[in-house]
Amino acid sequence: MSNVPSDWEVVIGLEVHVQLHTRAKVFASSPWGFGKEPNEQVDPVVLGLPGTLPVVNREAVEKAILFGLVVGAEVPERCAWDRKNYFYPDNPKNYQLTQKDFPVVVGGQVEIELPGASRNVMGEHKFIRIHHAHLEEDVGKLSHAGSGSLVDYNRAGVPLLEIVTEPDLRSSAEAEAFLRSLVAMLTQAGVADCDMEKGQLRCDCNVSVRRRGDAKLGTRTETKNLNSISSVRDTVIYETARQIRELEAGRSITQETRGWNAELARGYVLRDKEDAHDYRYFPDPDIPTLKISRDTVTRLAKQVPENLYDRQRRYVDKLGLPYTAASVLVNDRALAEWFEAAVAAHPANPSGIANLVANDLLRDLAASAGAAGAFDEAAPAPLSLASCPIKPAQLAGLVKLTDDGVISKQQAKEVFAEMFKSGKDAAAIVDAKGLRQNSDTGELEKIVQEVIADPAVAKSIAEYRAGNEKAINALKGPIMKRTQGKANPVLIDQLLRKFLA
Amino acid sequence: MAEGFDIDHLAKLARLSLTAEEKALYSSQLSQILGHFQALANADLPATIDDARVVDEAALRSDEPGPVLGAEAVTRIAPASRDGQISVPRVVDDES
């Protein structure tokens, strides 16, 4: 957390560049993917060779519209592409195809959740407005070697959605929460994979500070090309402190483009591309304006998944889950749907199912995957629920056996471990291990009466009768011992109370 | 400097080095061109996108990957290359 002096306010806006989940590039049919040999995923359209014409990829447009619907944006009747002109070797055409005046997404908002006072307390919720999002092409990758630079155009032409927020964020924690929420929405809707290690999500971060109460925004700086959530957080903290230090020393803030060195945890002024801001935009003559049909919008609206915080509210309010379990489940759509399938098979105890899923199942899945989180250092490893040996209905079966008193909660843990190993049904494991609790009232009544008659427990009985509720527990041990731990604890408790009343 | 633009700045953006005579000539020509645009801007037209250039979604391409050139073909048409990459004079935007 940053320590911003209370008389200062920080104002943050983000530009998030997300590679959309498509097979081919946005204006060309060249495939794309991470980790290929340099310049192996390039065709004549990507290079802008003479005689070629760009044609827009339908899937890229639909993914962009789907994002708009996910954040409740307006999907305009038309969108159009412009040329952004600059001379720099990351772009083979000397211009980037982007959308300036008629973007594919206008408006919308993203709900965020700030960290609570502790892990099991929900933090404050806020809405961050989206200004617009436009569909453009990614640029090539430069690497610097000795006196020259090398260019790989594999990334050039990859569909990129640039999501621009309003300056609504007020702290590093809010910026972090926004990115986590955005990533969850993008991945859950299948718009993008957001793998930061593969550069699929990169941020430009605009930061300014002002005296609290000032209506006018301060001069902002833009730190470009941040490729992890932690870099965005650290940049905000660094830049806030730097700007306040400058202003308090009586100096002014220069509007500038900056870079971030994650290793040294410090920002620096970028030697800007010369006159980079004079991009001489004009409508691209090769790509006609696109009319977006309302039928397409209606069809895509059906693909919008339940918003993760709507889901979280439903789990807490309707299903009665503790916040801790609900917040874990909703972060992963596949996990949430797995949980809901289990609840459908045993609707009586959603919390019991949630606890097993959020704790035991996730722990065992993570242990079997063994990989660290890819895009987000703090998030759990990517799950392979598809290959999970336990199916939702089987987990529901285990919880039902516990609820019915057939096995104890302690035994359920043991059965769960066995289910995860073998993929067998809970009931089969319970029978094979002879774990079925003794719920034969007649037999148990006899044992309970014998135990009560034992002079060794007379003192506990007297204490219980004198009002010490806990003293009754001393009687349960000997009963369990005589039944080899198979007695139903709920039944024992009932019988003890009956005979001691 | 002609009205509305700076010929030196434009020449720099376009990576052109112009003589004094060329500057004078292009300034006057560019003024004329911009004058025509001014006339268009003054015309009373609805503020919409040009209808003649609108297509519907049938004009989009399907998301089917097609052939690629291959690194060898890509680097062959570049003035200089190394290790499958195109080699250019050093451009710097790192911390240095």
The amino acid at A55: V
| B42 and A CB contact within 8 Å | no
Distance CA A12, CA A203 (A): 12
Distance CA B12, CA A490 (A): 86
What's the sign of the alpha-carbon dihedral A477, A483, A484, A488?
negative
Same domain for A349 and A447? no
Residue tagged 């932690």 (tokens): A230
Residue tagged 């410090």 (tokens): A266
* C-alpha distances out from residue A279 to A50, A80, A81, A275, Å: 22, 17, 14, 8
Q: Which residues of A touch B84 (CB under 8 A)?
A: 37-40
Is the CB of A80 less than 8 angstroms away from the CB of B55? no
In a domain, A253, yes or no: yes
Of the candidates B61, B88, B95, the beta carbon closest to that of A148 is on B88
| B47 and A CB contact within 8 Å | no
Distance CA A496, CA A450 (A): 11
In a domain, A2, yes or no: no
Size of interface A-B (CB pairs under 8 A): 151
| B18 and A CB contact within 8 Å | no
Same domain for A388 and A459? no
CATH of the domain at A450: 1.10.10.410
Q: Which residues of B touch A22 (CB under 8 A)?
A: 63
Distance CA B52, CA A224 (A): 38
In a domain, A273, yes or no: yes
- Six token digits for residue A24: 């081919």
> Among A289, A296, A299, which would you mutate to test the B interface (most chain B Cβ atoms within 10 Å of its Cβ)?
A289
Per DSSP, A74 falls in state B
In a domain, A32, yes or no: yes
Per DSSP, B12 falls in state H
In a domain, A126, yes or no: yes
Distance from CA of A242 to the nearest CA of B (A): 18
Same domain for A470 and A427? no
Mean pLDDT of chain B, nearest integer: 86
Distance from CA of B35 to the nearest CA of A (A): 18
Which regions in chain A score pLDDT beneath 50? 1, 371-377, 380-381
In a domain, A3, yes or no: no
Name the domain boundary from A377, A402, A432. A432
Q: Say if CB A262 and CB A234 are below 8 A apart.
A: yes
Query: Among B57, B33, B86, B95, which Cα is nearest to A38's?
Result: B86
- Residue A366: what pLDDT? 82
In a domain, A217, yes or no: yes
| B16 and A CB contact within 8 Å | no
Q: Say if CB A140 and CB A89 are below 8 A apart.
A: yes
CA atoms within 13 A on the CB side of B54: 12
Is the CB of A56 less than 8 angstroms away from the CB of B67? no
Of the candidates B49, B53, B74, the beta carbon closest to that of A39 is on B74
| B92 and A CB contact within 8 Å | yes
Q: Say if CB A221 and CB A206 are below 8 A apart.
A: yes
Q: Which residues of B touch A37 (CB under 8 A)?
A: 71, 84
Q: Are strands B54-55 and A289-291 parallel, antiparallel or unpaired?
A: parallel
> Among B77, B82, B94, B95, which would you mutate to test the A interface (most chain A Cβ atoms within 10 Å of its Cβ)?
B95
Looking at the DSSP bridge assignments, the partners of residue B88 are: A149
Q: Count the domains in chain A.
A: 3
- Residue A438: what pLDDT? 65
If 0-12 CB within 10 Å is exposed, 13-18 middle and 19+ buried, where does residue B86 land? buried
Q: What are the tens digits of pLDDT across the range B65-88?
A: 999 999 999 999 999 999 999 999
Distance from CA of A145 to the nearest CA of B (A): 8
- Residue A373: what pLDDT? 41
Residue of B nearest to A141 (CA): B85
Length, in residues, of chain A: 501
Residue of B nearest to A295 (CA): B57
Q: Per residue in A139-151, is it b (16+ CB within 10 Å) or e — as a string?
A: bbbbeeeeebbbb
Q: Which residues of B touch A151 (CB under 8 A)?
A: 85-88
Of the candidates B49, B63, B75, the beta carbon closest to that of A78 is on B49
Is the CB of B59 less than 8 angstroms away from the CB of A37? no
Is the CB of A296 less than 8 angstroms away from the CB of B88? no
Same domain for A164 and A233? yes
Distance CA B8, CA B17 (A): 9
Q: At what angle do helices A229-248 and A172-188 cross, to 10 degrees?
A: 150
Distance from CA of A78 to the nearest CA of B (A): 8
Of the candidates B12, B64, B87, the beta carbon closest to that of A148 is on B87
Is the CB of A275 less than 8 angstroms away from the CB of B60? no
Distance from CA of A59 to the nearest CA of B (A): 6
Distance from CA of B58 to the nearest CA of A (A): 9
**Rounded-to-10 torsion of CA B63, A136, A143, A225:** -120
Same domain for A280 and A311? no
Is the CB of A150 less than 8 angstroms away from the CB of B89? no
Name the domain boundary from A274, A300, A326. A300
Q: Which residues of A touch B82 (CB under 8 A)?
A: 148, 150
The amino acid at A493: D
**Rounded-to-10 torsion of CA A501, A488, A471, A481:** 120
Residue of B nearest to A263 (CA): B95
Is the CB of B53 less than 8 angstroms away from the CB of A288? yes
Q: Which residues of B touch A39 (CB under 8 A)?
A: 70-71, 74-75, 84-86
* Structural domain boundaries enclosing A138: 8-300
Residue of A nearest to B74 (CA): A39
Distance CA A145, CA A156 (A): 20
Residue tagged 């797995």 (tokens): A338
Q: What are the tens digits of pLDDT across the range B37-76?
A: 888 888 887 766 566 688 999 999 999 999 999 999 999 9
Length, in residues, of chain B: 96
Please list, in sequence order, all residues whose beta carbon lies within 8 angstroms of the beta carbon of residue A285, skipping any fewer than 6 positions away: none
Helix residue ranges, H only, A376-425: 392-403, 409-422
Distance CA B9, CA B15 (A): 10
In A233-340, beta strands by DSSP E: 257-261, 266-269, 282-283, 289-291
Same domain for A390 and A481? no
Distance CA A78, CA A76 (A): 5
- Six token digits for residue A345: 């098979």
Distance CA A40, CA A170 (A): 43
- Residue A214: what pLDDT? 93
Distance CA A180, CA A331 (A): 9
Q: Which residues of A touch B87 (CB under 8 A)?
A: 148-151
* C-alpha distances out from residue A132 to A75, A302, A339, A431, Å: 10, 22, 34, 60
Distance CA A322, CA A370 (A): 27
Q: Say if CB A384 and CB A369 are below 8 A apart.
A: yes
Q: Which residues of B, range 64-83, sit inside 8 Å of A by Cβ?
A: 64-71, 74-75, 82-83
Distance CA A391, CA A379 (A): 24
**What φ, ψ does residue A432 adopt, rounded to 5°?**
-60, -35
Q: Which helix (H) or strand (E) holds A493?
A: helix A489-500
Q: Say if CB A20 and CB A162 are below 8 A apart.
A: no
In a domain, A296, yes or no: yes
Q: Say if CB A190 and CB A19 are below 8 A apart.
A: no
Same domain for A133 and A218? yes
Distance from CA of B12 to the nearest CA of A (A): 9
Distance of CA A251 to the CA centre of its chain: 40
Q: Are strands A159-165 and A141-145 parallel, antiparallel or unpaired?
A: unpaired
Same domain for A236 and A322? no
Name the domain boundary from A394, A409, A432. A432
Please list, in sequence order, all residues whose beta carbon lies within 8 angstroms of the beta carbon of residue A270, skipping any fewer than 6 positions away: A224, A256, A257, A258, A259, B93
> Among B5, B50, B86, which would you mutate to test the A interface (most chain A Cβ atoms within 10 Å of its Cβ)?
B86
Same domain for A310 and A289? no
Same domain for A185 and A293? yes
Is the CB of A293 less than 8 angstroms away from the CB of B57? yes
Same domain for A245 and A363? no
Per DSSP, A303 falls in state T
Same domain for A411 and A449? no
In A138-280, beta strands by DSSP E: 141-145, 148-152, 159-165, 201-211, 221-226, 257-261, 266-269
